[in-house]
């Protein structure tokens, strides 16, 4: 195969066109199937910039030092591939399989990795060496130092469980809803990163830099935070251990603020909210407890309809019999809370943590807004964490529950008619007597169909 040559930072790579690449991929497919003529793809130090590898099987291929700038790799299988010191800037790796891929020293700046499988990938720093005038020297991309980095990458909803990201640059990276369980971030730079809704259970953040990072609704249970820098990091609504909240590492972080001890602020806010409801908004003030710590308060039977409670911390809170229609409880910490028979029609629980809560008999149906077109306001539980919650007899008619975690939940006799459960996890959930008529079950886990 004849290939043209390109020179980058005094370093030559073999440039392939699409036809030449397709020939290599065809032989690699045969290799994977143990067919005659099959050869493992060896594209080491090749220039594959902007080429189309969508859906291709490159598992176990050697792409070390390859330039894949702007390459299209949507849905590609790169499991176990050697991508050591590869240049993947601005590459599209959406839904790609990178399981256990070697990405040491790789540059993924600006790459799209949405919903990709990056379980156990190795993203630690690395240096590619090459000969230059008889001397062994380190190699760089476009005069950029060779370091592992995900700066400005889009890694939304990707799974990086147990990945090694030590020392890497992950600055200004969007990791919203990513799974980072047991991920090693020691000394990594996560400045300005968006970690909203991430699951960082058991992650190692020792000496990591999280200055100005956003961790609202992020699960940090069991995560190591020793000597980490959380200056101006937003931890409002984050799920923290008691040990973590007392750690000096969190000094300078932005946390939920408690209400005053004598509850005068609470009483005044509720009074103004009642006036606001009764007058249709003409007098009073809509209650806003967002980013507050409501620990220890009892809201049994209270009318907080349409109130703002985004990112509240209210573990083991009591909202039984409360009126919470169209309330915003997104990104809230509501573990083990009581919502028995509560009116939560049209409420927003997006990314809220309700693990172990009792919501038996709660009403999550839609609210009909009186407008000229008759708007229907549906309850939003997208990506809500409801594992092992009691939802027996609850009404989720038309509720938005895409991506919700309902593992081990009690949904006996629950009404889920026309609910959107796409991508939800119902593994080990009890659905005895549940009504799923018209429910959207695309990619739903735990339901036999």
pLDDT digits (tens, 9 = 90+) for 171-209: 999 999 999 999 999 999 999 999 999 999 999 999 999
Residue 89 is assigned to a structural domain of this protein: no
pLDDT (average), residues 205-219: 97
Q: How confident is the model at residue 128 (pLDDT cuts 50, 70, 90)?
A: low
Q: How confident is the model at residue 129 (pLDDT cuts 50, 70, 90)?
A: very low
At residue 21, the 3 state secondary structure works out as helix
According to DSSP, the β-strands at 292-293 and 257-258 are parallel
pLDDT tens, residue by residue, 372-402? 666 789 999 999 999 999 999 999 999 999 9
Provide, rounded to the nearest whole percent, the portion of the chain with pLDDT above 70: 91
More confident residue, 141 or 316: 316
Q: How confident is the model at residue 261 (pLDDT cuts 50, 70, 90)?
A: confident
Ramachandran area for residue 157 (φ above 0: left; ψ -120 to 50: alpha; else beta): left
Q: What is the CATH number of the domain that holds 375?
A: 2.160.20.80
pLDDT of res. 82: 97
Q: Is the pLDDT of residue 3 over 50?
A: no
Instruction: Tell me the CB-side half-sphere exposure of residue 274, using CA atoms within 13 A.
Output: 7
pLDDT of res. 406: 98
Domains held by the chain: number: 1
pLDDT tens, residue by residue, 319-375? 999 999 999 999 999 999 999 999 999 999 999 999 999 999 999 999 987 766 667
pLDDT of res. 48: 96
**What does the DSSP 8-state code read for residue 446?**
S
The domain of 343 spans: 256-449
Q: How confident is the model at residue 30 (pLDDT cuts 50, 70, 90)?
A: very high
Mean pLDDT is lowest, of 41-45, 60-64, 129-133, 330-334, for 129-133
Residue 170 is assigned to a structural domain of this protein: no
Residue 50 is assigned to a structural domain of this protein: no
pLDDT of res. 163: 97
Concatenated DSSP letters of 228-292: -B-TT-B-TT-B--HHHHT-GGGTT-B-PEEPPTT-HHHHHHHHHHHHHHHTTTSSS---B-TTE
Closest CA to 106 of 131, 137, 140: 140
pLDDT (average), residues 199-226: 96
pLDDT of res. 296: 78
Q: How confident is the model at residue 146 (pLDDT cuts 50, 70, 90)?
A: low
Query: C-alpha dihedral over 133, 139, 145, 149, to 10 degrees?
Result: 180
Q: Is the pLDDT of residue 97 over 80?
A: yes
Q: How confident is the model at residue 113 (pLDDT cuts 50, 70, 90)?
A: very high
Cβ atoms of 237 and 217 within 8 Å: the answer is: yes
pLDDT of res. 403: 96
pLDDT of res. 371: 62
61 backbone dihedrals φ, ψ, rounded to 5°: -75, 160
Q: How confident is the model at residue 55 (pLDDT cuts 50, 70, 90)?
A: very high
Mean pLDDT is lowest, of 120-129, 313-322, 354-363, for 120-129
pLDDT (average), residues 33-41: 92
Sequence-distant (≥ 6) Cβ neighbours of residue 227 within 8 angstroms: 206, 207, 249
The DSSP element (H or E) to which 32 belongs, if any, is helix 18-32
Counting Cβ atoms within 10 Å, is residue 127 exposed (0-12), middle (13-18) or buried (19+)?
middle
Residue 341 is assigned to a structural domain of this protein: yes
Q: N- to C-terminal Cα distance for the chain?
A: 49
Q: Is the pLDDT of residue 266 over 50?
A: yes
pLDDT of res. 11: 56
pLDDT of res. 160: 98
Return d(Cα 209, Cα 230) in angstroms, integer: 7
pLDDT of res. 374: 64
pLDDT (average), residues 432-445: 96
Return d(Cα 239, Cα 352) in angstroms, integer: 10
Return d(Cα 191, Cα 212) in angstroms, integer: 6
Return d(Cα 313, Cα 290) in angstroms, integer: 9
pLDDT of res. 344: 97
Residue 344 is assigned to a structural domain of this protein: yes
Residue 322 is assigned to a structural domain of this protein: yes
Mean pLDDT across the chain, nearest whole number?
A: 91
**What does the DSSP 8-state code read for residue 375?**
E
Dihedral sign computed on CA atoms, order 195, 425, 337, 365? positive
Q: Which residues of 308-331 are buried (b: 16+ CB within 10 A; e: fewer)?
A: bbbbbbbbebbbbbbbbbbbbbbb
pLDDT (average), residues 151-167: 96
């Amino acid at each position: 195969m004849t290939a043209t040559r390109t020179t980058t930072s005094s370093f030559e790579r073999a440039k392939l066109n699409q036809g030449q690449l397709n020939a290599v991929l065809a032989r690699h497919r045969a290799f994977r199937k143990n067919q005659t003529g099959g050869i493992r793809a060896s594209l080491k130090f090749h220039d594959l910039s902007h080429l189309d590898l969508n859906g291709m099987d490159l598992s176990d291929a050697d792409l070390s030092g390859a330039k894949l700038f702007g390459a299209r790799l949507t849905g590609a299988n790169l499991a176990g591939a050697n991508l050591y010191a590869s240049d993947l800037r601005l590459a599209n790796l959406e839904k790609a399989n990178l399981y256990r891929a070697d990405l040491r020293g790789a540059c993924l700046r600006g790459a799209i990795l949405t919903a990709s499988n990056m379980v156990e990938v190795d993203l630690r720093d690395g240096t590619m060496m090459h000969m230059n005038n008889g001397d062994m020297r380190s190699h760089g991309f476009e005069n950029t130092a060779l370091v592992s980095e995900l700066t400005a990458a889009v890694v939304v909803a990707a799974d990086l469980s147990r990945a090694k990201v030590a020392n890497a640059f992950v600055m200004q990276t969007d990791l919203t809803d990513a799974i980072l369980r047991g991920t090693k971030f020691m000394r990594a730079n996560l400045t300005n990163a968006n970690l909203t809704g991430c699951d960082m259970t058991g992650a190692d953040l020792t000496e990591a830099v999280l200055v100005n990072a956003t961790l609202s609704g992020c699960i940090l249970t069991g995560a190591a935070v020793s000597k980490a820098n959380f200056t101006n990091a937003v931890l409002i609504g984050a799920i923290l251990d008691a040990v973590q909240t007392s750690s000096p590492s969190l000094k300078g972080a932005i946390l939920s603020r408690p209400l005053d001890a004598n509850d005068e602020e609470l009483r005044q806010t509720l009074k103004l909210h009642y006036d606001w409801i009764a007058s249709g908004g003409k007098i009073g003030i809509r209650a806003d407890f967002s980013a507050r710590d409501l620990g220890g308060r009892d809201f049994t039977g209270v009318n907080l309809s349409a109130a703002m409670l985004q990112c509240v911390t209210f573990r083991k809170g009591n909202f039984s019999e409360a009126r919470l229609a169209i309330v915003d409880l997104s990104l809230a910490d509501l573990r083990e809370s009581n919502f028995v028979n509560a009116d939560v029609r049209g409420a927003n629980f997006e990314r809220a943590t309700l693990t172990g809560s009792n919501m038996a008999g709660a009403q999550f149906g839609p609210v009909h807004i009186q407008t000229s077109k008759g708007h229907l306001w549906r309850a939003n539980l997208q990506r809500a964490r409801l594992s092992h919650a009691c939802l027996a007899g609850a009404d989720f008619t038309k509720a938005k529950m895409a991506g919700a975690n309902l593992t081990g939940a009690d949904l006996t006799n629950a009404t889920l008619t026309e609910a959107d459960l796409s991508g939800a996890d119902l593994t080990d959930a009890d659905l005895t007597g549940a009504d799923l008529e018209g429910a959207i079950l695309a990619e739903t886990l735990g339901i036999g169909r």
